[in-house]
Structure 1
Amino acid sequence: MIYMDNSATSPVKEEVFNAMVPYLKEEFGNPSAFYSLGRSAKKAVETARENVAKLINAETREIIFTSGGTESDNMAIKGIAFKLEDKGKHIITTVIEHPAVLRTCEYLETKGFEVTYLPVKENGILDIEDLKEAIRDDTILISVMHANNEIGTIQPIEEVGGIAKEKGITFHVDAVQSVGKIPVDVKKANIDLLSISSHKLYGPKGVGALFIRKGVRIETLIHGGGQENNLRSGTENVPGIVGFGKAAEIAYNNLDANIEKLQEIRDLLIGEVLDKVPEAYLNGDREERLPNNASFRFAAIEGEGLILRLDAKGINGATGSACSSKNLKASYVLSALGLEDAEIHGSLRLSLGVENSIEDVEVVSDAIADVVGSLRQMSPLWDNEKNESLELDESKFTDVDH
């Protein structure tokens, strides 16, 4: 199997699994307990907190553990909205955010908040001037993702953070796809809240974190025993947190080497696919994208058929976000780039991992060319594409002849 769907989830590294095992067995204590078994669990949680904080250049006490990116997004956006609603009820985000952000904003609209959904340019990147124009006196929150989960484009969060700081507006970043893959510095980018998910960086599922800058106050959404600084009550998922911390430590230590390796494989993969497949196109910005993301679209095919046939060849990819894969509607992210439904339905997202190699590129690109070719042979849309191309060529030839 060649796995290229790391944006959906990544495999748990062996070192991460090994770090977790003791806390599933003999070190099973509750971190809130005062006896030695509890103190041991508490120490393990705090060590993990240090590792996660180090990965994003935060202070240890600014990290709150959650169940994952979705909860972190909800906690950040709802927490700020309800805490600051007396100051204002206007929120700014973009049309290509993860559903965890978009659905949360839609919910807040039912509670009297106003949300401005900013468009993106054809390359998937926010226009800073649009952001500046959208800011109002009652704007209390700007939420912009660092890197998109479908097309991998990286947003100018340092510019956004500078504007938010200047205007005194809280700035939240969904960094689920970027943390552990590219440098993330919450201080440099003036970020107030940042969401992270463990299973996107070779840690276990069911655990994540929310960075909350010191001095930022949010409304508590989960009440109970007061764990996680009274912001997220409930007994901590110690094995998951330990695994998350280990994954963060590994990511920090190998960040530069992984970026270099993944960019080389990604660029080769993009070049091979675009070279071998007629009418293949890259989605998103060519340069400002995650080092592991290659998002394509192919004329006159259906992405679902492409995925299934690649799966039969032992290659795992995706048509878009795994979080909304049950929805057969055209990707709202690709629609935001100005693409038509017919173009969008022929999409393929390949997201590389450190286990991938240069050798995988030849196998995958050949398989894509073979599958796309066979699907087009059965597609009436491809016949139309060819006929339109022929008509266009004849028209040009006639003009020259006259």
Structure 2
Amino acid sequence: MTIYLDNANTTKPDPRVIKAMMEYFEEKYGTPGGEFGHLFDEDAREAIEITRERIAREINASPEEIIFVSDEIEADNMAIKGVAWAGGKGKVLTSRIERKAILKTVERLREWGFETHEVGVDRKGFIDLAELEENLGGAILFATHLGNFEIGTIQDVRAISEMVHDKGALLYVDANHAFGKVKIDVKRLGVDVMSITSHLIHGPKGIAALYIRKGVKIKPLLDGDLRERGLRPGMINVPAIVGFGKAVELIDYEDSKRMAGLRDELINMLLTIPDTKLNGPTGDRRLPNNVNVSFSYVEGESILLHCDMRGLVFSTGSACYSQDLLPSHVIRGIGGSFEDAHGSVRLGLSKWTTEEEITQAYEILKDVVIKLREISIYGGKK
């Protein structure tokens, strides 16, 4: 039996999502183009608008404020570059524990003449609001997250929004890992632009959405036709959008409550293993499906490989597991040591994760960590 706990990387599509998509592969395979179209095109257009309305209701937005893109990386690029280009030269801020797509997009803006700054965080991953306020002078945008992709920290976006807007800047929020797990109201949070994705809520891969508050100026990355308000020209992935909409329809926050209980149970069990520390906060300030711990004296990659052979799947912040061969910048960003980063693992629960799987995951991890410590250079640390 395989225990899949890498749901912060991607989730298994719900069978009901796949069923909804199949009709738009096999029968209604048109794609909307201009203002008017034939029957196939109009079927596709109607399906897209149903999903747009469904997403808008879920986050308390208007349908015309929702734009479809291919994934969260395109969303990051469109939001950050688009707002920056529309706002002219100025300072663009982010935090040091964002996803690489956000950090690299801001880095690109720096190459193009924008002033940039990465705001620090505390040991739990919460943004340093004092440092943020100090650097907002002359800023046009602050790009951050609602729920951290690696350690699960849920930011106080409302407080951040008030501070950012008070200085005349705009706020972009990556809500990809929080969407479908915590309730989101864009008006209450006060966000200007926000990204959400399908594949983390048991929907298809290759489709995401941007919320762009009415009145926010943003320039497109690509030139072409007028689809998606002219902000995202090109072919529209109708089946994926339909699947996204079905996944949104299936969101049930009772699943989040159940995941949070299993999350805490797994954290408590893992912390009984000597020389283990939790990365990120506890309780309601942590995403309900996120577990991230660091095991001293062992490499995360070694843990992952041995667990994988025993049917337990998750991810690690170890440098060896990273394509750029650098340890987790998030663990380092919260003040963790290189050892903490190298020995960190992230386990992501889903609505289908069971009590039995949590117990088995703990037993496998405990056994693997103890065995790896026995053969490590640290003299049999257990």
- With structure 2 as the length reference, what TM-score do the two structures score? 0.96
Match of 1:364 among 346, 354, 361: 361
- Equivalent positions of 1:129-148 (< 5 A) are 129-136=130-137, 138-148=138-148
- Helix, strand or coil: the match of 1:160? helix
Is contact 1:195-1:210 (8 Å) kept?
A: yes
Letter in 1 for 2:279: N
Larger deviation, residues 33-42 vs 8-17: 33-42
Is contact 1:41-1:238 (8 Å) kept?
A: yes
Aligned match of 1:65? 68
- Equivalent positions of 1:382-393 (< 5 A) are 382-383=379-380
Aligned CA distance change for structure 1 residues 114 and 47 (closer, same or farther; 3 Å): same
Give the C-alpha shift of residue 343 in structure 1.
Answer: 2.2
Give the C-alpha shift of residue 234 in structure 1.
Answer: 0.6
Is residue 336 of structure 2 the alignment partner of residue 339 of structure 1? yes
- Equivalent positions of 1:42-191 (< 5 A) are 42-85=45-88, 88-136=89-137, 138-191=138-191
Aligned match of 2:235? 235
Match of 2:377 among 376, 380, 386: 380
Deviations 1:224-259 (A, max 9, x none): 1110001000121000011011111111xx12x012
Q: Provide the rounded CA distance (Å) in 2 between the counterparts of 1:120 and 1:380.
A: 33
- Equivalent positions of 1:308-327 (< 5 A) are 308-320=305-317, 325-327=322-324
Aligned CA distance change for structure 1 residues 350 and 11 (closer, same or farther; 3 Å): same
Is contact 1:320-1:347 (8 Å) kept?
A: yes
Match of 2:274 among 245, 258, 278: 278
Match of 2:256 among 256, 259, 267: 259
Give the C-alpha shift of residue 81 in structure 1.
Answer: 0.6
Is contact 1:19-1:243 (8 Å) kept?
A: yes
Letter in 2 for 1:11: K
Give the C-alpha shift of residue 330 in structure 1.
Answer: 1.2
Unpaired segments ≥5 residues, structure 1: 387-402
Aligned match of 2:198? 198
State the superposition RMSD in angstroms. 1.5
Letter in 2 for 1:199: H
Aligned match of 1:19? 20
Aligned match of 2:5? 4
Give the C-alpha shift of residue 29 in structure 1.
Answer: 0.7
Is contact 1:65-1:209 (8 Å) kept?
A: yes
Letter in 2 for 1:358: E
Give the C-alpha shift of residue 166 in structure 1.
Answer: 2.3
- Helix, strand or coil: the match of 1:148? coil
Q: Provide the rounded CA distance (Å) in 2 between the counterparts of 1:207 and 1:320.
A: 26
Larger deviation, residues 49-58 vs 259-268: 49-58
Moved over 4 A (4+): none
Is contact 1:317-1:349 (8 Å) kept?
A: yes
Identity percentage of aligned residues: 39
Q: Provide the rounded CA distance (Å) in 1 between the counterparts of 2:24 and 2:379.
A: 56
Q: Provide the rounded CA distance (Å) in 2 between the counterparts of 1:154 and 1:71.
A: 23
- Helix, strand or coil: the match of 1:12? coil
Is contact 2:32-2:41 (8 Å) kept?
A: yes
Q: Provide the rounded CA distance (Å) in 1 between the counterparts of 2:379 and 2:95.
A: 34
Q: Provide the rounded CA distance (Å) in 2 between the counterparts of 1:187 and 1:233.
A: 27
- With structure 1 as the length reference, what TM-score do the two structures score? 0.91
Unpaired segments ≥5 residues, structure 2: none
Letter in 1 for 2:218: I
